[in-house]
Amino acid sequence: QVTLKESGPGILQPSQTLSLTCSFSGFSLSTYGMCVGWIRQSSGKGLEWLANIWWNDDKYYNPSLKNRLTISKDTSNNQAFLKITNMDTADTATYYCARSSGGLGFAYWGQGTLVTVSS
Amino acid sequence: DVQMTQSPSNLAASPGESVSINCKASKSISKYLAWYQQKPGKANKLLIYSGSTLQSGTPSRFSGSGSGTDFTLTIRNLEPEDFGLYYCQQHNEYPYTFGAGTKLELK
């Protein structure tokens, strides 16, 4: 059974760095073709893909967030991470991690973690 | 980036009816389009990938069609649990992009 769960600080101030953790079970990110992605959704708005990390450590980022994103993984502990620097109120959103196999859509999603940026 | 234009934004239907949701890509994405269902309190659900391939567990009343730039999600014989938000997403190239969503409501 594949499960994913996001964790984060809940609230942070503008200009701070957001650190998110995706803890998963039921698969290994060292298995060929596996990928974990991060997607966010602002209140009442649509979904925005942020980054992917693959089993072979290939990483892809949404250029709209320029150089603010860093994705990484800890295969031994079944976790993936996302850091976003210089957070702004516009980054307030629910952040999801999700698993893809072979790049064929995100078949498994976490429930999401709400991150609020406020001074 | 590939822009995904999803229509309609809102759709009202009754159980038993059939509905279609469209997604248009700003350039060809071959067959690589996914459809998701989003409902409050539940994890997002992948329904279809690669345009027409049903994800395991997706009921057969869901179908996807299209290639290139134009895609359609059709739901036949709507069930009460089908009402919610639907999103398309292209998985042909980075950055992945989503449509703005379609809210399927009970008439």
Residues 6+ apart with CB under 8 A from A87: A12, A13, A14, A15, A16, A17, A18, A117
pLDDT tens digits for range B23-74:
999 999 999 999 999 999 999 999 999 999 999 999 999 999 999 999 999 9
Alpha carbon distance A61, A66 (integer Å): 8
**In 3D, which of B38, B68, B37 has the Cα closest to residue B51?**
B68
Instruction: Decide if A67 contacts A59 (C-beta within 8 A).
Output: no
What SS3 state is found at A86? coil
Tell me the chain B residues in contact with residue A103 when contact means C-beta distances shorter than 8 Å: 91
**Shortest Cα distance from A13 to chain B (angstroms)?**
27
Q: How large is the average pLDDT for residues A80-100?
A: 97
Tell me the chain B residues in contact with residue A37 when contact means C-beta distances shorter than 8 Å: 96
pLDDT tens digits for range B71-89:
999 999 999 999 999 999 9
Residue A94 above 80 pLDDT?
A: yes
- DSSP 8-class letter at B55: P
Residues belonging to chain B with any Cβ–Cβ distance to chain A shorter than 8 Å: 1, 34, 36, 43-46, 48-50, 53, 55, 87, 89, 91, 94-101
Alpha carbon distance B45, B62 (integer Å): 13
Q: How large is the average pLDDT for residues A61-74?
A: 95
Per-residue tokens: B100: 């703005």
Q: How large is the average pLDDT for residues B96-101?
A: 98
**pLDDT reported for residue A44:** 78
**Inter-chain touch B96–A49, beta carbons under 8 Å:** yes
Alpha carbon distance A18, A87 (integer Å): 7
Size of interface A-B (CB pairs under 8 A): 61
Instruction: Decide if A8 contacts A113 (C-beta within 8 A).
Output: yes
